[in-house]
Structure 1
Amino acid sequence: MSPIAIPTKRLDRLAIGLSGLCLVHCLATSVLLAVLASAGSALGAPWIHEVGLILAMAMGMIALGKGIFEHGYTMPSAVGGLGLGVMAGALTLPHNGTEAVFTMLGVGILALGHRLNHIAGE
């Protein structure tokens, strides 16, 4: 089954779940950094954030893009795009806690965009 054949509502639910996993990852990494420096540094590796952003961007392009064609509203995609931009910008910040805060903010905005997309499709 191609990604295009998956209903937009299902893609939005998957994307919201991915956002939740990202949020849990950020919180767990922050706690682990405070408790176990070696485990925290493994979970805080830059490639994990880059892969996560790539997954979020792919899911966003598919789900939010399909939503525009299905229901005609562009606001969910604009909100989701803002969240992705905040997440991408967070990758450029130092790993002193600032990156995690802005990543979580971007994840929340992206999840809101997917939620708006889900509501618009009803």
Structure 2
Amino acid sequence: MRSAFFAIRNRLDRAGILLSGLCAVHCVLGVVLVGALGLGGEVLLSPAIHRVGLALALVVGLVSLGFGVLRHGRVMPLLLGGLGLSLMAAAIMVGHGLPEAVLTVIGVSLVAYAHIRNLHTAC
């Protein structure tokens, strides 16, 4: 049972890394396609996409990083992930543009790094 629990947590960490990368790509493509070319604004800048993405990141991040603390006792991945999630939430509040992109990319980078640290401390 215990190994199944940790396998699920490891999968969640990997999913968190993947989601972080997809979020960063979405953000950069959104800025380039909408800002430079004027394409895809309704889809790429939709508030619903950002809210759903943040909700997924919160669930995956808090569950996997929280379980990581229970497993290995290290709080740093959870703190880094929490900071990254906070920056992602702040990005939603500042509106579209460069500040949103910067906050989002920094936030998802911290979340991805937290998941990587969580995977490495699981050994």
Task: Provide the TM-score with structure 2 as the length reference.
Answer: 0.89
> How far off its partner does 1:94 sit?
2.6
Percent identical among aligned pairs is: 44
**Cα distance per residue 1:45-77 (max 9 Å; x no partner):** 111111100000000111001101111111110
Counterpart of 1:27, as a letter, is: V
Task: List structure 1 runs of 4+ shifted beyond 6 angstroms.
Answer: none
Which residue of 25, 35, 38 maps to 2:37? Answer: 35
Q: Which residue of 2 aligns with 1:80?
A: 81
Q: Distance in 1 between matches of 2:12 and 2:30?
A: 26
**Structure 1: unaligned runs, 5 residues or longer:** none
- Structure 2 equivalent of residue 57 of structure 1: 58
**Cα separation, 1, equivalents of 2:12 and 2:26:** 21
Work out whether residues 31 and 97 of structure 2, in 8 Å CA contact, stay in contact via their aligned partners in 1: no
The TM-score normalised by the length of structure 1 is 0.90
Indicate the RMSD between aligned Cα atoms, in angstroms.
Answer: 1.5
